[in-house]
Amino acid sequence: MPHLFTPYLRLLLLLVLLHVAGTTQAQLPAAPQVVSVTPTRNATSVAVSTDLTITFSRPMQATTASAAGLRVYSAQRGGLLEGTYSGGGTSVVGFTPARALRAGETLQVAIPKAAQDAGGTALSQAYSYQFTTRTAPSAGTFASPGVLPPSAPSTYGITSADYNGDGFLDLASCSQGSTSKLQVRFGQGDGTFGSAVDYAMGASYYLTSADLDNDGDLDLVVGNYGQLVVMQNNGSGVFTTLRGFPTASDVRTMATADFNGDGNLDIVVACAASGLVWVHFGQGDATFTITGSTYFTVSAPVGVAVGDVDGDGDLDYVTATAQSNRAFVRLNDGTGTFTAGATLTVGFQPNSIALGDLNGDGALDVVTANQNSSTVSVLLNTNAGTGAFQAATTLNTGSTPTDVKLGDVDGDGDLDLVVSGNTRDVRLNNGSGLFSAGPIISSGAYYAALADVNNDGTLDLLGGSSSSPTGGTSSIGVYLNAATPTLASFSPASGPIGSTVTLTGTNLAGTTQVTFNGRPAASFTVNSSTSVTAVVPAGATSGRIGVTTLPGMSATSVTNFTVAAPVVISLSPTQGPAGTVVTVTGTGFLEATQVTFAGTAAAGFVVNAAGTQLTVAAPVGVRTGPVVVTTPNGTSNGVPFTGAPMLSSISPAFGPAGTVVTLTGAGLLNANAVTFGGVAASGFTVNAAGTSLSVSAPEGVLSGPVYVTTPTA
């Protein structure tokens, strides 16, 4: 009965379609999501001129392409960065910073939870991540003892950022003791700093820079025992002290990040004596709220670091405790609520903790400086998206390490370790999280900072010290890293010994040696960080030019410099008999080995210091012909010298008086007499080259020699 089967089939198909449609609808995400980011999460070698790109799962409202939907925070220059946004109303939002980023800095990117798709649906949760910019290649060593600005006694906390907006990194420090204060020094861009500007401040261990009021400059937060003192920047490096914000007692370290996704920087604070780690939420006006603040109770927390350890798009924190061999992971749920993560076993009394991708897998690893055991613990992330870590690898360090910082100090694209304590140890990463021993700086510091204070693209090392390593008053050590030099070109491409060559490249300011095919230059002058002039030395041969800079880094030219053969320009006098002292002028005479007159070698000669003049006596038997100078780099051109004439042939060799005879030879041009067996000819003709002379045999000619006489013979 077909008329009964058809309606049933249609009803069945309708139910199937409704089921499929319902399943498809249920599988769609209820809210837009971040699909990918550029630069990638936790990248360690991002170009300072990079653009940022955020790709969403669906088109977003136009406001997402603005500071309301995408915020990039620098802790070294500009705070909340200004720039150009793109992609409003699309699924791909871009941001181009208005200025190049600072070398080696770690930036935070925050996409607030208020960002909405085109239909008005907000993100299910905010998204935050970090990346670190590239540094210039270097040896990863630091000049010692460095610049030593005087400081308050017992200077502990130190940070570096551009507070006055001039493009140069400045210094801020805090101290302990009865003379404690906050000190700010403005950088000159070359690794030196102006006099300190002092601000009243109680005894403090730590401070940090952050744009807490979203006005595009960097404020300061100082941990003043049981309170956070916010120093609000007016944009020109002048700070106003806001009221102290209460937190737990004995503030040791702190870090800022947008934990709750509202677009404002919050702060996590490790408070040792009270046994609390507090998270206080920023209001975007340089204040923090007490309401909603969260805390974690743990014995003597002294170190704290921030990063997305479980890869879920929000920033977690890790903390180290001074009375155990433990560190703790606290996982953020995206709203600023933290739950217990992994408990990590490290060396005893970890006083400092840091996060960074040490093996290039995109996940953040943990490093602790263990004061009591004089070690560093390195724990690699399992990269399973859970915030779990492998067992610690232990590195021995100098005694009582109190701080560890991560940064690419040798510019090879991975993060190295700088450990501070009684000494400062540099450990270079091989890219897989394995560290080799590096330089040791004998002077110590409780806390240190890494920043490019001389604008050469490398990370320099800064640290407070209770006394000067050279004796005297308290000071801040500024240890400058040196970028690897490069040689882009040189001019001229060739020249003789003693000539001057201009070298052009980068990072040449610390040049200590210039070589020509391995031979050190006679002298050199450093004109700037991009230019050096050098004098081609005696003994140089054609080959590559090399430059060496402090502390022992070098660069070699891509092409060869040609050491030119000598050039003779002029003679004075240009004629004379044997013994005549002749001054030869030209270039490239410094290594002359021989001077010849028409092929006859002179017995000796003297060359001036510049290699541009040579004095020589015309040799016995001197004939007319070229004067030639020979050096290891070649033989010069010849300049004529008129000496005694020379006859090579006579034709015909016999005949009566009146026979026209052709004399062939050299130096005949100025002939003034011709004799046949002592009888003078009455006249003769010389060709223009002075190589041929025509003469009639004179009356009374006798058999015998034919002589040609010139004024010099």
Tell me: the pLDDT tens digits for 674-709? 999 999 999 999 998 888 999 999 999 988 999 998
pLDDT of residue 146: 58
Give the list of residues 6+ apart from residue 11 with CB closer than 8 angstroms, or none: none
The average pLDDT across 461-486 equals: 73
C-alpha distances (whole Å) from 669 to each of 18, 575, 689 are 118, 12, 7
pLDDT of residue 533: 98
pLDDT of residue 468: 39
Q: Is the pLDDT of residue 12 over 50?
A: no
Q: Are 461 and 481 in contact (CB under 8 A)?
A: yes
The average pLDDT across 213-219 equals: 97
Instruction: Place 179 in a pLDDT band, splitting at 50, 70 and 90.
Output: confident
pLDDT of residue 510: 82
| Least confident range of 20-29, 269-278, 582-591 | 20-29
The full set of domain ranges for the chain reads 34-133, 486-562, 567-643, 646-709
| Least confident range of 20-34, 298-312, 422-436, 536-550 | 20-34
C-alpha distances (whole Å) from 327 to each of 57, 284, 348, 488 are 36, 31, 10, 48
Neighbouring C-alpha atoms within 13 Å toward the C-beta of 324: 16
Neighbouring C-alpha atoms within 13 Å toward the C-beta of 554: 12
Other C-beta atoms lying within 10 Å of the C-beta of residue 691? 17
Q: What are the φ/ψ torsions at residue 189 (nearest 5 degrees)?
A: 90, 0
Q: Is the pLDDT of residue 404 over 90?
A: yes
Question: In whole angstroms, what is the distance from residue 539 CA to residue 557 CA?
Answer: 19
Q: What CATH number has the domain spanning 486-562?
A: 2.60.40.10
- What amino acid occupies position 416? D
pLDDT of residue 147: 62
Instruction: Place 138 in a pLDDT band, splitting at 50, 70 and 90.
Output: confident
Q: Dump pLDDT digits (tens) for 369-391.
A: 999 999 999 999 999 999 999 99
pLDDT of residue 441: 79
Q: Do domains 34-133 and 646-709 have the same CATH topology?
A: yes
Cα 605–Cα 610–Cα 616 angle in degrees, nearest 5: 15
Question: In whole angstroms, what is the distance from residue 442 CA to residue 142 CA?
Answer: 11
Fold adopted by 34-133: Immunoglobulin-like (2.60.40)
pLDDT of residue 152: 85
Q: How long is the chain?
A: 713
Cα 602–Cα 607–Cα 612 angle in degrees, nearest 5: 115
Q: Is the pLDDT of residue 469 over 60?
A: no
Pick the CATH number of 646-709 from 1.10.1740, 2.60.120, 3.30.450, 2.60.40: 2.60.40
Instruction: Tell me the H-state helices in 193-311.
Output: none
- What amino acid occupies position 483? A
Question: In whole angstroms, what is the distance from residue 407 CA to residue 428 CA?
Answer: 10
pLDDT of residue 473: 57
Instruction: Identify each DSSP E strand in 346-402 by its residue range.
Output: 350-356, 365-370, 375-379, 393-396
Q: Dump pLDDT digits (tens) for 329-375.
A: 999 999 999 999 999 999 999 999 999 999 999 999 999 999 999 99
Instruction: For the chain, give the mean pLDDT.
Output: 90
Class of domain 567-643: mainly beta
Predicted model pTM = 0.76
Other C-beta atoms lying within 10 Å of the C-beta of residue 12? 10
pLDDT of residue 713: 54
Q: Which carries the bigger pLDDT value, residue 132 or residue 478?
A: 132
Q: Is the pLDDT of residue 571 over 70?
A: yes
Other C-beta atoms lying within 10 Å of the C-beta of residue 248? 21
pLDDT of residue 292: 74
Q: Is the pLDDT of residue 177 over 90?
A: no
Beta bridge partners of 182: 174, 199
pLDDT of residue 551: 66
Q: Is the pLDDT of residue 619 over 90?
A: yes
